[in-house]
Chains A and B, each alone.
Chain A
Amino acid sequence: MTETIFERSVQARRAFVAPELDVPRDDDALPERFRRAEAPRLPEIAEPEIVRHYNRLSRRNFDLDTGFYPLGSCTMKHNPKLHERVAALPGHARLHPLQAPARAQGALRLMAELQAALAEIAGLPHVSLQPSAGSQGELAGVLLTRAYHDDRGDHRTKVLTPDTAHGTNPATVTMAGYELVKLGTADDGGVDLDDLRAKADDDVACLMLTNPNTLGLFDTNIVEIAHVVHDVGATLYYDGANINAMMGRARPGDMGFDIVHYNLHKTFTQPHGGGGPGAGPIAVSERLEPYLPRPQVVRRDDGSFDLDFDRPKSIGRLRGFQGNFGVFVRAYAYILSLGADGLKEASETAVLNANYLQARLRELAGDLLPSAYERRCMHEFVLTGAPMKREIGLKTTDLAKRLLDHGFHPPTVYFPLLVDEALLVEPTETETRETLDAFAEAIAEILREGREDPEVARTAPHTTPVRRLDEAGAAKRPVVRQPM
Chain B
Amino acid sequence: MSRYTSATDADRVAMLAAAGAESIDELFESIPAEVRLGRELELPGGKSEQDVYAYLRDLAAQNVSAEDEVSFVGAGMYDHYVPALIDSITSRSEFLTPYTPYQPEVSQGTLQVMFEYQTAISELTGLPVSNATLYDAPSAVASAGWLARLHNRRGRFLVSRGLHPHSREALATTAAGYGTAVEELGDEIHDDVSAVFVGHPTFFGVVEDLEALAAATHDAGALLVVQCDPMTLGILKSPGELGADIAVGEGQPLGNRLDYGGPSFGFFAAQEQYLRRMPGRIAGETRDVDGKRGFVLTLQTREQHIRREKATHNITTAQTLNALAGIVYLSWLGRRGLVEIGELMLHRTAYARKALSALDGVELLHEGPVVREFAVRLAAPVEKVIERCAAEGVNPGYPLGRDYPEHEDGLLTAITERRTRADIDRLAAVLGAAVAAEREAVAA
Q: Is the CB of B305 within 8 A of A133?
A: no
Q: Is the CB of B257 within 8 A of A61?
A: no
**How long is the Cα–Cα vector from A351 to B21 in the complex, in angstroms?**
12
Interface readout for A333-353 with B: 1 if CB under 8 Å, 0 if not? 101111111111110110111
Q: Is the CB of B233 within 8 A of A36?
A: yes
**How long is the Cα–Cα vector from A349 to B51 in the complex, in angstroms?**
24
Q: Is the CB of B46 within 8 A of A337?
A: yes
Tell which of A55, A133, A275 has the most Cβ of chain B within 10 Å: A275
**How long is the Cα–Cα vector from A356 to B174 in the complex, in angstroms?**
44
Q: Which residues of A contact B89 (CB under 8 A)?
A: 51, 54-55, 58
Q: Which residues of B contact A469 (CB under 8 A)?
A: 104-105, 286-288, 294-296
Choose from B132, B178, B308, B343 the contact partner of A167 (Cβ within 8 Å).
Answer: B308
Choose from B5, B265, B300, B315 the contact partner of A135 (Cβ within 8 Å).
Answer: B315
If A104-B63, A320-B166, A356-B19 touch, whether A339 touches B330 (CB-CB below 8 Å) is: no
Distance in Å: Cβ of A64 to nearest Cβ of chain B: 4
Distance in Å: Cβ of B189 to nearest Cβ of chain A: 23
Tell which of A90, A255, A409, A474 has the most Cβ of chain B within 10 Å: A474
A and B contact pairs by CB, cutoff 8 A, 15 listed: A5-B327, A15-B83, A16-B83, A18-B341, A21-B347, A61-B109, A88-B257, A100-B387, A103-B390, A143-B173, A246-B31, A276-B318, A376-B19, A376-B27, A481-B118
Determine whether B275 belongs to the interface, using a CB cutoff of 8 Å to chain A.
yes
Distance in Å: Cβ of A205 to nearest Cβ of chain B: 11
Stretch at the interface among B120-128, B151-159, B191-199, B214-222: B120-128
If A42-B334, A273-B96 touch, whether A480 touches B259 (CB-CB below 8 Å) is: no
**How long is the Cα–Cα vector from A482 to B335 in the complex, in angstroms?**
15
Residue of chain B at shortest CB distance from A218: B30
Q: Is the CB of B304 within 8 A of A171?
A: yes
If A41-B123, A104-B63, A342-B46 touch, whether A98 touches B309 (CB-CB below 8 Å) is: no
**How long is the Cα–Cα vector from A166 to B337 in the complex, in angstroms?**
44
Q: Which size class do B's interface residues fall under?
A: 35 or more
Tell which of A55, A93, A95, A120 has the most Cβ of chain B within 10 Å: A95
Distance in Å: Cβ of B165 to nearest Cβ of chain A: 9
**How long is the Cα–Cα vector from A468 to B289 in the complex, in angstroms?**
6
Q: Which residues of A contact B65 (CB under 8 A)?
A: 90-96, 99
Determine whether B440 belongs to the interface, using a CB cutoff of 8 Å to chain A.
no
Determine whether A479 belongs to the interface, using a CB cutoff of 8 Å to chain B.
yes
**How long is the Cα–Cα vector from A172 to B304 in the complex, in angstroms?**
9
Q: Which residues of A contact B348 (CB under 8 A)?
A: 22-23
Interface size, chain A (Cβ < 8 Å) = 205
Interface readout for A199-225 with B: 1 if CB under 8 Å, 0 if not? 000000000000000000110101100
- The residues in B between 232 and 262 inclusive whose CB is less than 8 angstroms from any CB of A are 233-238, 241, 250, 257-262
**How long is the Cα–Cα vector from A92 to B287 in the complex, in angstroms?**
43
Extra contacts, 8 of them, besides A95-B258, A274-B113, A319-B262 (Cβ < 8 A), are: A55-B92, A61-B106, A175-B146, A175-B178, A336-B52, A433-B15, A467-B105, A479-B285
Count how many pairs of residues, one from A and one from B, have CB atoms less than 8 Å apart in the complex.
Answer: 730
Residue of chain A at shortest CB distance from B97: A64
Choose from A41, A53, A92, A143 the contact partner of B335 (Cβ within 8 Å).
Answer: A41
Q: Is the CB of A274 within 8 A of B67?
A: no
Q: Is the CB of A40 within 8 A of B335?
A: yes
Determine whether B45 belongs to the interface, using a CB cutoff of 8 Å to chain A.
yes
Determine whether B333 belongs to the interface, using a CB cutoff of 8 Å to chain A.
yes
The 5 A-B pairs at the shortest CB distance, nearest first, are namely: A321-B261, A91-B60, A273-B321, A97-B261, A106-B62
Distance in Å: Cβ of B124 to nearest Cβ of chain A: 5
Determine whether A303 belongs to the interface, using a CB cutoff of 8 Å to chain B.
no
Determine whether B442 belongs to the interface, using a CB cutoff of 8 Å to chain A.
no
Determine whether A384 belongs to the interface, using a CB cutoff of 8 Å to chain B.
no
**How long is the Cα–Cα vector from A324 to B119 in the complex, in angstroms?**
26
If A45-B331, A98-B398, A341-B46 touch, whether A168 touches B286 (CB-CB below 8 Å) is: no
If A36-B236, A352-B7 touch, whether A293 touches B119 (CB-CB below 8 Å) is: no
Distance in Å: Cβ of B384 to nearest Cβ of chain A: 11
Q: Is the CB of A40 within 8 A of B334?
A: no
Q: Is the CB of B320 within 8 A of A274?
A: yes
Determine whether A39 belongs to the interface, using a CB cutoff of 8 Å to chain B.
yes
Q: Is the CB of B304 within 8 A of A480?
A: no
Q: Is the CB of A96 within 8 A of B66?
A: yes
Residue of chain B at shortest CB distance from A220: B30
Interface readout for B98-135 with A: 1 if CB under 8 Å, 0 if not? 11111111111110110110111011101011101101
A-side interface mostly: loop
Tell which of B178, B275, B316, B317 has the most Cβ of chain A within 10 Å: B317
Q: Is the CB of A39 within 8 A of B339?
A: yes
Q: Is the CB of A167 within 8 A of B306?
A: yes
Q: Is the CB of B235 within 8 A of A355?
A: no
**How long is the Cα–Cα vector from A397 to B192 in the complex, in angstroms?**
47
Stretch at the interface among B71-79, B358-366, B428-436: B71-79
Q: Is the CB of B177 within 8 A of A176?
A: yes
Q: Is the CB of B340 within 8 A of A18?
A: yes
Determine whether B404 belongs to the interface, using a CB cutoff of 8 Å to chain A.
no
Stretch at the interface among A65-73, A230-238, A388-396, A449-457: A65-73
Q: Is the CB of A43 within 8 A of B331?
A: yes
Q: Is the CB of A333 within 8 A of B257?
A: no
Q: Is the CB of A318 within 8 A of B30?
A: no
If A78-B4, A142-B177, A468-B289 touch, whether A69 touches B98 (CB-CB below 8 Å) is: yes
**How long is the Cα–Cα vector from A103 to B61 in the complex, in angstroms?**
10
Q: Is the CB of B63 within 8 A of A29?
A: no
Q: Is the CB of B317 within 8 A of A29?
A: no
Residue of chain A at shortest CB distance from B60: A91
Determine whether A419 belongs to the interface, using a CB cutoff of 8 Å to chain B.
no
Q: Which residues of B contact A479 (CB under 8 A)?
A: 284-286
Q: Is the CB of A480 within 8 A of B289?
A: no
Q: Which residues of A contact B324 (CB under 8 A)?
A: 54, 273-274
Q: Is the CB of A277 within 8 A of B261?
A: no
Q: Is the CB of B398 within 8 A of A106?
A: no
Residue of chain B at shortest CB distance from A133: B317
**How long is the Cα–Cα vector from A339 to B43 in the complex, in angstroms?**
6
Q: Which residues of A contact B293 (CB under 8 A)?
A: 2, 466
If A325-B260, A466-B292 touch, whether A317 touches B166 (CB-CB below 8 Å) is: yes
Determine whether A249 belongs to the interface, using a CB cutoff of 8 Å to chain B.
yes
